[in-house]
Structure 1
Amino acid sequence: MAELIIPGPAGRIEARYTEPPQEGAPIALVLHPHPRAGGTMQDPIAIRLYQMFEQRGFGVLRFNTRGVGRSQGVYDQGVGELEDAAYVLDYMENMTESPRFVWCAGYSFGAWITLQLLMRRPEIDGFLAIAPPCNHYDLAFLAPCPASGLIISGENDKISGPKDVERALTKVRVQKGEVIERDSIAGANHFFQGKQDELIAKCAAYVDRRLIEDEQKLRAEAETKKVRGQAAITDQSDDDAGEDDDDGDDED
């Protein structure tokens, strides 16, 4: 893991980065909780999400939004923080060679930024939204949600309770072929005290399953393109042979 200072839109951005282990490996961006509530990239859940992606062969980056830690600028009600996230994702993509998949994961305020980032960045293939603050923010901007992902919260969460999440999701539309999955952890509060192992296990299981499914989808698409290409070559050969026959008839 390397310490990075990224020249961001509001000044320097402090980050931690693990390079992809090989060309074409997937990448993931991790976003931290609310800066006004003490949220930083050193938040325990942000760190564990980072480690979970790292263990699965992702290139992964987490960073402090403007005004947090050594990142310059001031808190900007989510507007500037979304700008920071989009900028850092650009920066990360420029450092990697053709990532196979692009993921974003965020906790609390970071989950809200994650969901907004989806609408800006069509290259994002999957997301994890941990305890999005649905009693503070509307999710109707997901119209439609362009990627599949998991929204997970605690059963006893007072900020992102199951009922709040379900109510918010009634306003969400999803693009054809994409699915937003929901999960809840029994007995967990907003901070997942005593439940972080279960939280990360559920996230890891979802990522593992998605990686398998997405690899299968890519192989199927590649095979379909191959078959279509071979069919096109065959059709062209048949057309050429027919033209040759026509030429021979004319000569007779």
Structure 2
Amino acid sequence: MVEVFLNNETKKIEGRYHQSKDTNAPVVLILHHHPQYGGSMDSKIIHTIYESFIDNNFSALTINFRGVGKSTGTFDKGIGELTDAAVAIDWLQEHNSNNVPIWIVGFSFGAWVAMQLTMRRPEIVSFVALSLPATKYDFSFLSPCPVPGLIIQSNNDTISEESDVTELAQRLINSVKNNHMEYHIVDDTNHFLRDKEEEVAQIIDNYIKLRLNSAVTSSKKVKKEIRVKEYA
């Protein structure tokens, strides 16, 4: 992994990047929690997620939002942070093949930003949202959700109530027309999923493998159908 800097207008956005040896590997952008409450790409949960995707042969980028770490600028209540994430997606596309699948991951505040970007960027094929701040932020823009994904929530979250996240998750599950939407509740932890990082990593790893295997199966099915048509 290497330290990178992304140019965002007059801002400089710090990131950490791993390039897969496979030129056709999928890519992922990982976004941290609220900058004013200790959020950064160096948090344990973000690092754990980052390693999970690398272990599954992704090219992975995680960034510090403006005003965090070596990123310049100041907190912008989600507006500027959405721009930071969009610039990161552009950067990933510049450094990878245009047709590779793009995933986005967000933790808490980062999940709110990630879900907004999912609605705006059709090249994103999947999301992972951890500790969705459904109690604090309005998620009505997800109508419907354009792609399937994974939602992970604590059963003891005092910042974003489990009931609010469950209601949102059920709405998204009902809106996505396939069987790849998943919702997992992690017991005996808090909003920050403290001391459950390995359990969370396993849930994410299982979901990644499910989606990648499904994509391979679908690709083989399409090729088989094409061969049948060619020789019909």
| TM norm. shorter chain > 0.5 | yes
Matched, 1:138 2:130: no
Partner residue in 2 for 1:102: 102
Partner residue in 2 for 1:224: 225
Alpha-carbon separation, structure 2, partners of 1:176 and 1:196: 30
Task: Say if 1:83 and 1:225 are closer, same or farther in 2 by CA, change over 3 A.
Answer: farther
Aligned amino acid, residue 199 of structure 2: E
TM-score by length of 2: 0.93
Counterpart mapping for 1:74-153 below 5 A: 74-98=74-98, 100-153=100-153
Alpha-carbon separation, structure 2, partners of 1:169 and 1:153: 10
Partner residue in 1 for 2:49: 49
* 168-177 vs 206-215, which moves further: 168-177
SS of 1:125 mapped into structure 2: strand
Query: What is the count of residue pairs matched by the alignment?
Result: 231
Task: Say if 1:166 and 1:27 are closer, same or farther in 2 by CA, change over 3 A.
Answer: same
Alpha-carbon separation, structure 2, partners of 1:169 and 1:194: 24
C-alpha deviation, 1:39, in angstroms = 0.5
Aligned amino acid, residue 129 of structure 2: A
Counterpart mapping for 1:189-200 below 5 A: 189-200=190-201
Task: Say if 1:2 and 1:229 are closer, same or farther in 2 by CA, change over 3 A.
Answer: same
- Once the two structures are superposed, what CA deviation does each residue of 1:194-231 show, in whole Å capped at 9, x if it has no partner? 21111111111111111111221122223323433444
Alpha-carbon separation, structure 2, partners of 1:139 and 1:92: 26
Partner residue in 2 for 1:238: none
- Once the two structures are superposed, what CA deviation does each residue of 1:94-127 show, in whole Å capped at 9, x if it has no partner? 1012454211111111111111111011111111
Aligned amino acid, residue 195 of structure 2: G
Aligned-residue identity in percent = 36
Aligned amino acid, residue 124 of structure 2: I
C-alpha deviation, 1:38, in angstroms = 1.3
C-alpha deviation, 1:160, in angstroms = 2.7
8 Å contact from structure 2 (residues 151, 169) kept in 1: no
Aligned amino acid, residue 122 of structure 1: P
Task: Say if 1:171 and 1:138 are closer, same or farther in 2 by CA, change over 3 A.
Answer: farther
Alpha-carbon separation, structure 2, partners of 1:216 and 1:134: 34
Alpha-carbon separation, structure 1, partners of 2:231 and 2:10: 52
**Higher relative contact order, structure no. (Cα contacts within 8 Å, ≥ 6 residues apart):** 2
SS of 1:60 mapped into structure 2: strand
TM-score by length of 1: 0.86
8 Å contact from structure 1 (residues 139, 169) kept in 2: no
SS of 1:12 mapped into structure 2: strand
5+ unaligned residues in a row in structure 1: which ranges?
232-252
